[in-house]
C-alpha cells in the first residue's frame, strides 16, 4: 500500500496512456508499466540506488572493513565511526542504518565489490567525490594513530575499485598524514612544515602556485559542489570541516611568509 501511494503518479499517468491506446486492458497494462518506471526512477534518483544512498552505505561498510583489517575492531575505530555519525547529525534511524552497514563490513569475507562497484559506476567521472570518500576511509584507518599494512591493503583495494592510481592514493595519504600532524603540532616550525604538505606543495613554491593549489583543494571540497555530484547531504558537515582545515593550513603558510617579508 505504501509503494502504491509513493508511485501513484506513475500508476495514474501509465493508466491514462494505456486507456487511450488500449481501452480497459490498456489501463491495467499502462498502470503497471508506469508503476515500474516510477519506482525505478525513484530508486535511481533518491532511493536505494541513488548516488547518495550508495555513497552512504559504502562509507560505513568500507569503514567496517578497514576497522576489521587487523583482526579486531579497536575502541578508537568504533568511536571514530560514532563521531562521524554525530558530525553528520544523523537521526536515530540513520544511525541504526549506519551501524548495520558498519557491522556488515566487518564480517569475515565481506565483498568490497558489492558496495564499491555500483558506487564506482555512478561517480567514475566525479573525482572530488572519490577523494572525499577515500579521505573518510583514511581517517578511519588512522583513528588509532597509524595505518597498518593490512589497513593499507584494504585502502588499495578501494582505490582499485574506484579507479584511482597508486600515485593519487600516495598523494592523498601524504596530505592526510600531514593534516593529522598539523592538527596536533606542538611547535610553530612543525606546524608550517606540515601546513605545506596539507596543501600538497613544497615550501619553495611560488606564491601564485601556492594560491592555485589552495583554490584547487577548496574547490574539490566545496560542500555544495560535492552534494550536487552525489555526496549525501548529511555529509556536508564533513566537507565543511575539510575546507576549514585547508583554510587553516593556508592561513598558517601565508602568515609565515609575511613574517619572512
> What is the pLDDT, as a whole number, of residue 123?
83
**Could you identify the residue written with the cell 555529509?**
235
Tens digits of pLDDT across the chain (261 residues): 433 343 344 334 433 344 444 444 444 444 444 434 444 333 443 445 677 888 899 999 999 999 999 998 999 999 999 999 999 899 999 999 999 999 999 999 899 999 999 989 888 888 888 999 999 999 999 988 789 999 999 999 999 999 999 999 999 999 998 988 888 766 666 688 999 999 999 999 999 999 999 999 999 999 888 888 878 888 888 999 999 999 999 999 999 998 876
> What is the pLDDT, as a whole number, of residue 49?
61
Decide if 87 contacts 237 (C-beta within 8 A): yes
User: CA of 32: how far to CAs of 12, 107, 187, in Å?
Assistant: 10, 39, 68
Q: Cα(69)–Cα(38) distance, rounded to whole angstroms?
A: 40
> What is the pLDDT, as a whole number, of residue 214?
96
Q: What torsion do the CA atoms of 113, 115, 119, 121 make, to the nearest 10 degrees?
A: 40
> What is the pLDDT, as a whole number, of residue 249?
93
Neighbours of 89 (CB within 10 A): 10
pLDDT tens track for 218-243: 999 998 888 888 788 888 889 999 99
> What is the pLDDT, as a whole number, of residue 137?
94
> What is the pLDDT, as a whole number, of residue 117?
94
Q: Cα(135)–Cα(120) distance, rounded to whole angstroms?
A: 16
Amino acid at each position: 500500500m505504501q509503494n502504491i501511494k509513493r508511485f501513484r503518479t506513475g500508476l495514474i499517468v501509465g493508466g491514462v496512456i494505456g486507456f487511450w491506446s488500449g481501452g480497459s486492458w490498456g489501463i491495467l497494462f499502462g498502470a503497471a508499466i508506469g508503476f515500474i518506471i516510477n519506482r525505478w526512477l525513484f530508486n535511481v534518483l533518491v532511493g536505494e540506488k541513488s548516488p547518495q544512498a550508495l555513497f552512504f552505505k559504502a562509507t560505513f561498510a568500507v569503514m567496517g572493513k578497514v576497522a576489521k583489517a587487523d583482526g579486531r575492531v579497536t575502541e578508537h575505530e568504533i568511536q571514530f565511526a560514532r563521531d562521524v555519525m554525530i558530525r553528520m547529525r544523523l537521526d536515530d534511524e540513520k544511525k541504526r542504518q549506519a551501524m548495520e552497514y558498519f557491522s556488515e563490513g566487518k564480517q569475515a569475507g565481506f565483498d568490497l565489490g558489492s558496495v564499491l562497484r555500483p558506487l564506482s559506476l555512478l561517480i567514475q567521472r566525479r573525482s572530488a567525490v572519490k577523494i572525499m570518500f577515500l579521505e573518510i576511509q583514511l581517517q578511519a584507518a588512522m583513528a588509532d594513530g597509524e595505518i597498518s599494512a593490512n589497513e593499507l591493503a584494504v585502502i588499495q583495494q578501494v582505490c582499485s575499485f574506484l579507479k584511482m592510481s597508486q600515485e593519487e592514493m600516495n598523494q592523498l595519504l601524504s596530505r592526510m598524514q600531514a593534516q593529522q600532524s598539523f592538527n596536533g603540532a606542538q611547535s610553530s616550525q612543525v606546524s608550517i612544515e606540515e601546513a605545506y604538505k596539507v596543501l600538497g606543495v613544497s615550501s619553495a613554491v611560488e606564491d601564485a602556485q601556492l594560491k592555485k593549489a589552495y583554490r584547487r583543494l577548496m574547490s574539490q571540497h566545496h560542500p555544495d559542489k560535492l552534494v550536487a555530484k552525489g555526496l549525501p547531504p548529511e555529509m556536508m558537515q564533513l566537507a565543511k570541516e575539510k575546507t576549514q582545515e585547508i583554510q587553516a593550513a593556508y592561513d598558517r603558510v601565508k602568515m609565515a611568509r609575511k613574517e619572512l617579508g
